[in-house]
């Protein structure tokens, strides 16, 4: 079985983004890094899907491959029903403008020599202005992300705080009127007080523009706060997909491990307080056979080494890939 399962996909609904059996591999001197091994997901218009997992489990590689930066090793990515993989360069650039990436480090994402008023419309310069009045459009964009145009318009990135730079990055993404925003740890480099403001800004933009968002993060509380559904990834595979409102009722031992690391999110009865062995992530150069989580899992048996668990719906809307979780 190549993929991590597609049981959670919703082909009967209108979907802004469909990713099917995405594989990302990096050839390196010692072999092949299996960063993403059969990830499938879909996003409805206006929906936010959180992708949760520890550092190194393949979240960024997946986000970038969805953006075709670079294209995945294999698998399909459909944006608004249009297949992106294998598209010619010019059409790809056009299609990619419908999908924007917001990154973790906003300062290095901005050209230090350019002023804010030029940075926010960099994307539009490529595609032409149409009938827009540039100054007015820039000011509207800056206001829409909570920046005072008169104060920041002529500044360069080093004259702004990290939070202000992330607002500029978000404004630059929104300038292209995208359908999908892929946010890769967009608040993890910011102070906690600023994190809440940026999350609020993304949430408002999603509502106002009916954006669909993929929100990648390792922080359980942040992902729960902003997402409608959460997909939990371990070593390149999906282990659980569930509504974020049900996150405390997660069933996969790996999701339980992540929850147990956040005191307020752990089960009130203490169940799952120490659900799995907190050891290093195995190498993606040589991932464990069968269930990739088995080397850290307290429930692991011989079956887990020999047979990869399929993603199955165990409660309405909750999908788990584990041999030991019963429907
Ligand atoms: N260009 C590359 N060449 C080789 N290996 C890579 C490359 N990019 C990522 N990897 C490896 O792929 C695996 C997944 O990395 P990735 O950055 O996607 O994980 P992540 O969950 O986003 O972690 P983080 O939050 O630390 O970025 C890691 O083992 C990483 O070292």
Q: What is the pLDDT of residue 107?
A: 87
Rounded mean pLDDT, 48-58: 95
Q: Return the number of other C-beta atoms located less than 10 Å from residue 111's C-beta.
A: 12
Q: What is the pLDDT of residue 125?
A: 77
Q: Is the pLDDT of residue 2 over 50?
A: no
- Among 15-19, 150-154, 185-189, 303-307, the minimum mean pLDDT is found in 185-189
Percentage of the chain with pLDDT > 90? Answer: 78
- Do 216 and 59 contact (CB within 8 A), yes or no? yes
Q: Is the pLDDT of residue 79 over 80?
A: yes
Rounded mean pLDDT, 185-189: 92
The pLDDT confidence band at residue 32, using thresholds 50, 70 and 90, is very high
Instruction: Say whether domain 1-98+180-190+211-327 belongs to CATH 1.20.200.10.
Output: no
- Among 65-69, 124-128, 144-148, 276-280, the minimum mean pLDDT is found in 276-280
Residues whose CB is less than 8 angstroms from the CB of residue 67 and which lie 6 or more positions away in sequence, other chains included: 96, 99, 101, 182
Minimal-distance CA residue to ligand 1 atom 9? 61
Distances (CA, A) of 228 to 85, 121, 190, 212, 252: 27, 30, 23, 11, 19
Helix locations, 145-236, DSSP H: 149-152, 162-174, 192-209, 220-226
The pLDDT confidence band at residue 281, using thresholds 50, 70 and 90, is confident
Minimal-distance CA residue to ligand 1 atom 1? 26
Q: Is the pLDDT of residue 131 over 70?
A: no
- Residue 57 Cα to ligand 1 midpoint, Å, equals 7
Domain ranges of the chain: 1-98+180-190+211-327, 105-177
Using one digit for the tens of pLDDT, what is the confidence trace for 261-279?
A: 876 544 444 444 444 555 6
Q: What is this model's ipTM?
A: 0.97
- Do 97 and 122 contact (CB within 8 A), yes or no? no
For residues 272 and 74, which has the higher predicted lDDT (pLDDT)? 74
Mutate which of 58, 69, 219, 258 for ligand 1? The one with the most ligand atoms within 8 Å of its CB, which is 58
Rounded mean pLDDT, 106-110: 90
């Amino acid at each position: 079985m190549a993929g991590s399962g597609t049981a959670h996909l919703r082909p009967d609904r209108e979907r802004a983004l469909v990713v099917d059996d995405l594989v990302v591999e990096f050839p390196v001197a010692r072999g092949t890094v299996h960063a993403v091994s059969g990830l499938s997901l879909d996003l409805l218009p206006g929906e936010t899907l959180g992708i949760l997992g520890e550092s190194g489990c393949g979240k960024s590689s997946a986000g970038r491959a969805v953006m075709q930066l670079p294209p995945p090793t294999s698998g399909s990515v459909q944006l608004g029903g249009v297949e992106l993989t294998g598209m010619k360069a010019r059409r790809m650039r056009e299609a990619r403008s419908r999908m924007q990436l917001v990154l973790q480090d906003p300062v290095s994402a901005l050209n230090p020599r350019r002023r804010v008023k030029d940075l926010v419309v960099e994307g539009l310069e490529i595609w032409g202005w149409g009938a827009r009045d540039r100054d007015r459009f820039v000011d509207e964009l800056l206001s829409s992300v909570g920046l005072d145009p008169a104060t920041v318009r002529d500044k360069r990135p080093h004259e702004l705080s990290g939070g202000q730079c992330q607002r500029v990055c978000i404004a630059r993404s929104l300038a292209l009127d995208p359908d999908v925003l892929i946010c890769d740890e967009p608040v993890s480099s910011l102070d906690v007080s600023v994190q809440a403001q940026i999350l609020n800004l993304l949430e408002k933009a999603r509502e106002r523009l009916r954006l669909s968002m993929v929100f990648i993060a390792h922080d359980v509380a942040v992902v729960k706060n902003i997402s409608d559904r959460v997909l939990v990834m371990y070593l390149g595979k999906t282990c659980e997909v569930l509504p974020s409102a049900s996150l405390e009722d997660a069933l996969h031992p790996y999701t339980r491990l992540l929850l147990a690391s956040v005191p307020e999110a752990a089960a009130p009865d203490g169940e799952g307080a120490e659900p799995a062995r907190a050891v290093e992530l195995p190498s993606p150069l040589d991932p464990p056979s069968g269930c990739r989580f088995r080397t850290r899992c307290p429930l692991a048996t011989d079956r887990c080494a020999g047979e990869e668990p399929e993603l199955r719906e165990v409660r309405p809307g909750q999908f788990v890939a584990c041999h030991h979780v019963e429907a």
